[in-house]
Amino acid sequence: MENPNYLKINNLKITIFQAYLFWENIDKNLQNISLRLSSGVKEKTDLIVLPEMFNTGFSMNAKELAEEMDGKTMTWMADSAARYDCVVTGSLIIKENNNYYNRMIWMLPTGEYQHYDKRHLFGMGEEDKTYTSGQDKIVVELKGWKIRLAVCYDLRFPVWLRNNDPSYDVLLIVASWPDKRIPHWKALIPARAIENQSYVVAVNRVGHDGKEVYHSGHSMCIDAFGNTVYYKPEDEDLYTFSINYDDLIKIRRDFPFLKDADQFKLIN
């Protein structure tokens, strides 16, 4: 039910950047993010989280925008992780084996990385006609914390995100979630936190995209009891906060709901 070494696990310091994204302009986005990080990261952090497709905006123009795994954005992520001595994460368009992926990168300061390919592709936006769906659940570890990676539309599918055993302590979601469906975003994030007894950290973008779709942010961190740790609507925001492992364990001890959860197998 819990990590036996939990008393040795420290708080996790997380920096989120709820960014305005320049439509399909990789260089300008990387320049803007670099500038904001250099002026805004004032203290040591463990993790910097960027939105979905942070270098392009949520685009279906994969043929022109996709990069290889040794491309400029991956290099930028590695350089940034090394500079701030922390993990940097967010998703971008990757071409691999003649397929395109909406791929979330988990970049370590050493230049090593793991990745998660978005499982649920947004059919209403024809994402499924451009990108290939990922098949693997990815849980990474940072300072003893187990962190489940997810991208935007995944938020709507609780079976995919079910926290059995539990297998993770934080559900980390990067998104490009439009303002017109923000009521769903605001309802689903606390629901995922409560039902999975985990923190949920969800980072959205702000501003209009190239199709005049408005994004209003509402990035947030919700704890396992449904309490708000961080919340920011509307404006571009770079903010650092901490989450507490002892608080998480106490909630799981006091309300041991997960032990009564249904057991099932997910059929791909």
Cα distance between residue 175 and residue 219, in whole Å: 9
Q: What is the pLDDT of residues 176-191, one digit of tens each?
A: 999 999 999 999 999 9
Q: Does the annotation count 221 as an active-site position? A: no
pTM, rounded to two decimals: 0.95
- Does residue 96 lie in a domain region? yes
Nearest by Cα to 229 from 182, 190, 177: 190
Separation of alpha carbons 218 and 177, rounded Å: 9
Residue 265 forms part of a structural domain: no
- Looking up residue 215, the CATH number of its domain turns out to be 3.60.110.10
From first to last of its 268 residues, the chain has per-residue pLDDT tens of 455 544 568 999 999 999 999 999 999 999 999 999 999 999 999 999 999 999 999 999 999 999 999 999 999 999 999 999 999 999 999 999 999 999 999 999 999 999 999 999 999 999 999 999 999 999 999 999 999 999 999 999 999 999 988 999 999 999 999 999 999 999 999 999 999 999 999 999 999 999 999 999 999 999 999 999 999 999 999 999 999 999 999 999 999 999 999 888 888 7
Decide if 7 is inside a domain. Answer: no
Task: Identify whether 51 is preceded by a cis peptide bond (ω within 30 of 0).
Answer: no
- The 10s digit of each residue's pLDDT in 148-160 is 999 999 999 999 9
- Between CA 126 and CA 149 the distance in angstroms is 22
Catalytic residue among 67, 127, 152, 232: 152
Domain that holds residue 160: 12-257
For residue 100, is it within any domain?
yes
**170-174 and 139-142 beta bridge pairing:** unpaired
State the catalytic residue, choosing from 86, 118, 221, 232. 118
Residue 37 placed within a domain: yes
Q: Does the annotation count 152 as an active-site position?
A: yes
Number of domains in the chain: 1
52, 86, 127, 232: the catalytic one is 52
* Phi (first) and psi of residue 82, to 5 degrees: -65, -40
52/54 Cα distance (integer angstroms) = 5
266 falls within a domain: no
